[in-house]
Structure 1
């Protein structure tokens, strides 16, 4: 008897066949134990139906994983935690800057650079070794939203203006150049990817490129956003954002602005306990 194929409705409205491999991969990447993975997969498959949404599957898994390993559920909810950096894009810009810091870049948020024609406010200015980047951060608070080719073309135009300024100053544009780099918390359209490849513009999306995606960059350094913390309320979250505390490591770092925040002792202890639980194997 042929195995029934169930269609899953994605956030953007399209459908695809249910994939055991994709589900197991997402749990494995979150640090969920193999025994829990198989049990969760069996229980999810019992409730499949044609047209089930990815959100329904995610919620079911979240409940199951939380029962067995609360530490893993924080990582499993990582994509939703990045979405929770909104509603504005500014916390996402700070998050990208702090993440790049962990990779050895020197960063500044909200820098103004002069082009040949106009000035440009850059979301994140990043420098490492002899290379300088102007980073455009495209935050979306709805899953399934793509960063399209118009954004990449806009960034290309800004890069050209910055490069032309260097030519006016008689600087070698190959030695002194602001390289464009676009981060998004969702995905890029196929045209955006094609145009960026043609124009040599660096892209980092949630799962793109596969080897150096935003998700993999976060997991590699275990630099999770504070929005994964279940013990952190919206008011305290806002206070931490305002003090440039966007990573879990910021919460417990000695001498940081986070350490000096007027948080109740019980809240601080609960935060530290949850941070240690999430960041240690």
Structure 2
């Protein structure tokens, strides 16, 4: 008996065969154990249908996670990509977030949105970072919609800036919250441009660095818009930064009541443990 493949519709409108391995990988990365992952996949297999959209499958997985032990914590981790997409729409928050990620890597961030005079014009560089004695130009590209790729245009744009300001920088980085196109990867490799993005490079991609160092953005928590604004106004960009304060101190700083603060801190502690 031949089993018909279930065709799903991605956010960009393209159609592909349903691949449960993608859910398995994301679940395991979020800390779901193997047995729970098997149960989730079994539930999803029983719910998917021809023509189902990926965002509906995403909701199915979140609902399945809710039924598991420590489901709230696991669900928060699973929502990482969505959380980063909320760091917009201007891109400024994403630049600051990337700065936090770089600080936990080999870089020291000197300037965010700094002006640098090139050979032909003045450029506003998203981030200026140092790795040892080498000065690095960092261009950040943030997308708030699913199904969008960062492509060759962004890679070309970043390299053009680097060429014009080459007297000030030794290397260039393009950092984005989406996948990058094959053309962008090929071009970047040819000109020596570094790319950090979703799923790339395979062994040290954006999400892997975030998860390894517990650099979850504050938007990964189930906060309402007012609470998010309050945290950002208090310069709390990372979820784990909530643990740097006592309940009353953080309540005064954000205007969020102490009981809510206590619950959020407990959730963050579980997420990073």
> Could you state the TM-score of these two structures normalised by the residue count of structure 2?
0.92
- Of residues 209, 227, 241, the one that matches 2:232 is 241
CA distance, structure 2, for counterparts of residue 123 and residue 10 of structure 1? 31
* Alignment-derived partner of residue 182 in structure 2: 190
In structure 2, the partner of 1:96 is: 98
Seen in structure 2, the aligned counterparts of structure 1 residues 109 and 211 have a Cα distance that, compared at 3 Å, is same
Structure 1 stretch displaced more, 99-108 or 51-60 = 99-108
Partner of 2:161: 158
Which secondary structure state, in structure 2, belongs to the residue aligned with residue 50 of structure 1? coil
- 1:105 matches 2:107: yes
Distance in 2 (CA, whole Å) between partners of 1:49 and 1:116 is: 57
What is the aligned partner in structure 2 of residue 142 from structure 1?
145
1:111-145 deviations in Å (ceiling 9; x for gaps): 22221222211111111212221111110010111
> Structure 2 stretches of 5 or more lacking a match?
none
Q: Which residue of 2 aligns with 1:199?
A: 191
Q: Which residue of 1 aligns with 2:122?
A: 119
Separation in structure 2 between the aligned mates of residue 252 and residue 196 of structure 1, nearest angstrom? 39
Contact 1:94 1:244 in 2 (8 A): no
> For residues 230-262 of structure 1, what are the alpha-carbon distances to aligned partners after superposition, in whole Å with 9 as ceiling and x for unaligned?
1x221121232234321112222259xx94614
Q: Hey, what's the Cα distance between the residues in 2 that align with 1:182 and 1:141?
A: 17
Corresponding position of 1:252: 243
Is the counterpart of residue 265 in structure 1 residue 258 in structure 2?
Answer: yes
Alignment RMSD (CA, Å): 1.7
Flag as ranges the 4+ runs of structure 1 deviating above 4 A.
none
Number of residue-to-residue matches in the alignment? 266
Q: 1:36: which partner in 2?
A: 36
SS at match of 1:207: coil
Contact 1:5–1:18 (CA under 8 A) maintained in structure 2: yes
Does the 8 Å contact 2:137/2:169 carry over to 1?
no
Per-residue CA shift, 1:259-281, capped at 9, x if unaligned? 4614322232222112112111x
Q: Which residue of 2 aligns with 1:169?
A: none
**Does the aligned pair in 2 maintain the 1:162–1:178 contact within 8 Å?**
no
Task: Give the match for residue 267 of structure 2.
Answer: 274
Deviation at 1:67, TM superposition (A): 2.1
| Structure 1 residue runs without a partner (length 5+) | 167-175
| Alpha-carbon distance in 2 for matches of 1:243, 1:128 | 29
Deviation at 1:205, TM superposition (A): 1.2
CA distance in 2, matches of 1:49, 1:98: 41
Separation in 2 of the partners of 1:25 and 1:205?
A: 17
Question: 1:173 maps to which residue?
Answer: none
Deviations 1:86-123 (A, max 9, x none): 22211111111001111142113112222122221111
Quick one: distance in 2 between partners of 1:122 and 1:215? 23
TM-score (norm 1): 0.89
Cα shift at 1:197: 1.1
Deviation at 1:74, TM superposition (A): 0.7
C-alpha distance in structure 2 between counterparts of 1:249 and 1:25, whole Å:
24
